[in-house]
Structure 1
Amino acid sequence: MNWALMYDCYGDVDRVPELLARAEREDEAEVWDELGYRLILECDLVFPASFAALPCLVHLASRSARARVLAGAIVRCAAGDHGCDDLLAGCADVLVEFRSLLDRHLRSRPDDYLASFRDLVAVEGHYHWSAVLGDFSDDFYQVACPHCAVEVTIAIGGYGRYSAIRDWNLGDVDRRDLRPASSDGLSGFGRRMHDTAARDGEVVLADGIAHLFGRAECPRCASVFNIADEYASSNRPLM
């Protein structure tokens, strides 16, 4: 790794490798705090040093929760306009290793399950889902009906599981119950997300995914459409 080209958010090229060397020796909070703000800005910007650090972070992640969390945060930012696509492509083998590590971590049913689940989703390249997946206690998604183009609110949570037209004075009006996908009816990445959550006993998360990858009725024109397809087509980042 030519660290002379790997600048961090301050433009420095020497501080991150020094901090990574310290992290190899000692798991100190101050080291990880500085790595965090050098590798990721608050507005989710990442830099060459962020991707250059990934191999070391993933190596440390098996014994350091801080390394695992920071590596996941960098991957979640990979959809942004960072100009480091070549560095990200060079991390392909590291990301395969990181995916296996995250999957093992999820099987242990950790307290940070949802955050680690979102990291796994990002590692698989589905950045739009990683960014918006919640715990389905109070989740809302905005999609355009593919037939009449009206904006439809999709609610999945404690307030119900429905499609509606959102009126800022009246709330969600003309609600229609969602039609969740059956476990057999799911396919592709939706199936993988659902099966992972179900495997780990995350019942609410699995049920929410079944609804998110199910079908909704448009309150305006009564057409029925696939929620995930319409949301992804509008929100999938250009890579």
Structure 2
Amino acid sequence: MTDWELMYDSRGDSARVPELLDRVEGDLDPEAWQELERRLTVGAPLTFPASFAALPRLVRLAGANSRARRLAGRIVRYAAATDGCDDLLEECTASIVELGRLLDEELRARPDHYLDTFRDLLATRQQYHWAAVLQDSADAAYGVGCPHCPVEVTMVIGSHAQYSTIRTEQPNDVERRTLRPATPEQLSGTGRWMYETAVRDGRYPLAEAIVHLFGRAECPRCAALFTFADEYTAANRPLV
């Protein structure tokens, strides 16, 4: 039984959230959904103790309600940016596992919001760093420190080119180095799962981006080759 008096939401309140959950469970109340979303997640991104307390009920609704799936997914995805939420996440383990199953089913249906759902699913697998970084743009940029010299290397992965560079204030990147993508056979662990899921669902541009993310980049400064995914994970994966 949730003790709502110990919880708070984005407005520092707690009593309103269970009332709103009752309203959205009873019918499709758009005003209740909007208020619930504002109270449980805000831009930054942030979540609150009340967000995790609401998660089991949201997941119970999620099988038949796409809005509940999206809100539950955002709560889990934002968890890594919320200080002191580890214990709250542990209490939601069963709900998060079930949410992951529902999100995977949704991906198989190839929804219009595929990438958001893909990112939410990554978060249910505790891959918060990849859930945060994956982008859906013509030229997505990813930065990481070169492990061999003190410069920031930016990887650009887009529909027109895939390269590493050192970003400056100049309007155009200089000293570009072509990325060396991994082959599907070279992928393992999370990278292999991400690639196989994207291919399974016919998301070939996403699959192509993934083999580049898990491939090798060349530092334009020192010419060293390194595996981008290893450096990015070491620098960004939260300790959970």
Separation (CA, whole Å) in 2 of partners of 1:97 and 1:185: 30
* 5+ long unaligned stretches in structure 1: none
Contact 2:45 2:78 in 1 (8 A): yes
Contact 1:136 1:204 in 2 (8 A): no
Could you tell me which residue of structure 2 aligns to residue 23 of structure 1? Answer: 24
Quote the residue 2:4 is aligned against.
3
What secondary structure sits across from 1:152 in the alignment?
strand
State, as a whole percentage, how many aligned pairs show the same letter: 57
**Matched residue type, 1:141:** Y
Q: Structure 1 residues 154 and 87, CA, compared in 2 at 3 Å: closer, same or farther? A: same
| Mapping for residues 179-198 of structure 1, pairs under 5 Å | 179-198=180-199
Between 205-214 and 74-83, the greater mean CA deviation after superposition = 74-83
- Secondary structure of residue in 2 paired with 1:74: helix
In structure 1, the residue matched to 2:93 is 92
Instruction: Please give the secondary structure, in 2, of the residue aligned with 1:229.
Output: helix
| Alignment RMSD | 1.4
Q: Which residue of 1 aligns with 2:237?
A: 236
Shift of 1:71: 0.5
Counterpart residue type for residue 92 of structure 1: T
Cross-structure match for 1:58: 59
The answer on whether the counterparts of 1:190 and 1:209 sit within 8 Å (CA) in structure 2 is yes
Q: Cα offset for 1:11?
A: 2.4
1:214 is displaced (CA, Å) by: 0.4
* Counterpart in the other structure of 2:50: 49
**AA aligned opposite 1:166:** R
The alpha carbon displacement at 1:64 in A equals 1.1
Letter paired with 2:131: S
Change in Cα spacing, 1:32 to 1:212, as seen in structure 2 (3 Å) is same
Counterpart amino acid of residue 32 in structure 2: V
- What residue in structure 1 maps to residue 126 of structure 2? 125
Q: Distance in 2 between matches of 1:197 and 1:136?
A: 16
Partner Cα separation in structure 1 for residue 225 and residue 191 of structure 2: 19
Aligned-partner Cα distance in 1 for 2:14–2:166: 51
Distance 1:170 1:86 in 2: 46
> Is the partner of 1:174 in helix, strand or coil?
coil
Q: CA deviation at 1:43?
A: 2.6
Q: SS of the residue aligned with 2:156?
A: strand
What letter matches 1:186 in structure 2?
L
- Where structure 2 has 5 or more consecutive residues not aligned to the other structure, the ranges are none
| Secondary structure of the corresponding residue to residue 184 of structure 2 | coil
Contact 1:45 1:82 in 2 (8 A): no
Report runs of 4+ in structure 1 exceeding 3 Å deviation: none
> Is contact 2:48-2:82 (8 Å) kept?
no
Cα shift at 1:136: 5.1
Question: Residue 80 and residue 165 in structure 1: after superposition, are their counterparts in 2 closer, same or farther (change >3 A)?
Answer: closer
> What one-letter code is carried by the residue in structure 2 that aligns with 1:139?
A
Q: CA deviation at 1:48?
A: 1.2
Could you tell me whether the CA contact under 8 Å between 2:46 and 2:78 is conserved in 1?
A: yes
Contact 1:135 1:204 in 2 (8 A): no
What is aligned with 1:211?
Answer: 212
